[in-house]
Amino acid sequence: NAGVTQTPKFQVLKTGQSMTLQCAQDMNHEYMSWYRQDPGMGLRLIHYSVGAGITDQGEVPNGYNVSRSTTEDFPLRLLSAAPSQTSVYFCASSYGRTAAGEKLFFGSGTQLSVL
């Protein structure tokens, strides 16, 4: 049982490049989400999904796209990277609805630098 797996662990991009951060979980969790962590800003919600085929925006969705074609995978796409997207990105999942008190399991994070 690997839990929540994020790839890559580190990535350097040039401004304007595109890339996809991968997130996969093997716990049959319905809920998945992406957060970014910046110094002094805490964890900010980018996008989340309550099940396959369903996605919604979080606090800071601009510049990011997501899709949820399977229960296991929730990739985060940066279409045209900007220096403001330099951050540590965490994927998280939970068995059920977070409003019902389900615990979030976080991945190990992806450190992204945009030059």
Instruction: Note the residues at the interface with another protein (CB under 8 A).
Output: 31, 33, 35, 40-45, 48, 50, 56, 58-59, 90, 97-101, 103-104, 106-109
Is residue 70 within 8 A of residue 55, CB to CB? The reply is: no
When the beta carbons of 17 and 65 are compared against another protein, the nearer one is: 65
When the beta carbons of 16 and 96 are compared against another protein, the nearer one is: 96
Cα–Cα distance, 60 to 57 (Å, whole number) = 8
58: left (phi over 0), alpha (psi -120 to 50) or beta: beta
Preceding peptide of 61 cis, ω within 30°: no
Min separation Cβ 38 and another protein, Å: 10
Instruction: Tally Cβ neighbours within 10 Å of residue 76.
Output: 21
Min separation Cβ 14 and another protein, Å: 26
When the beta carbons of 14 and 42 are compared against another protein, the nearer one is: 42
When the beta carbons of 13 and 90 are compared against another protein, the nearer one is: 90
Nearest to 106 by CA among 45, 18, 54: 45
Min separation Cβ 101 and another protein, Å: 5
